Amino acid sequence: NTGRDERINSDEVDSRNVKDESVNSFVQVQFQGRRVQTRPSSGRSPIWKQTIDILLQQQPGKVSPRSLMGVLDSVEIILFDAVCGDMSTRGGFYNDEDTNVTEMRYLGHITVPFSTIYREGHLEGTFRLNVPETSFGYTRTKADDGDFITE
C-alpha cells in the first residue's frame, strides 16, 4: 500500500507466565502484514523496556480521527522462546558449515483491535495470553495453569 503511514507504539511488555531461567523470550508484533520484534530477554519474568513502532497504512488524504477509529485490523502480540542449539550431531554438514541454529518456540499470543489502542493512546499492563493446550519442551506448573517451565 502506498498510503500515508502513522506510528503505533507499544511500550513495556511484561511476561510473567514463563518460569525458568533458561527461557530467552521475545515478543513479536504483527500489524497489517508488517512484523517487528523485541530483543530477547532472559529469565522467568522478562521485561522488554522497548518501544515498538509499526507504520499504519492509510490512503493519502484519508487520515482523520474518525477514519482511524474505523480501522478494522488488529495488532497481534506473540510471545516466543528463542532456543539455541547445535545441529552438528545430526550429521550431513560440511566441516566448515555453521551448525548453530536458533529455534523460535511459540508460547502464546494476544490479539488487540487497533481501535482499542488508538482510543487509549497506548497498550500497557499484564495480559493473559492465549496458549496452546500442549507446548512441546515445556510443562505447566500445578500452581498456576498459565505458567510454563522448560523440561
How confident is the model at residue 147, as a pLDDT? 52
How confident is the model at residue 131, as a pLDDT? 87
Q: Look up the pTM and report it.
A: 0.69
Average pLDDT over residues 37-48: 85
CA–CA separation, 87 and 47 (whole Å): 30
Under DSSP, is residue 90 helix (H, G, I), strand (E, B) or coil?
A: helix
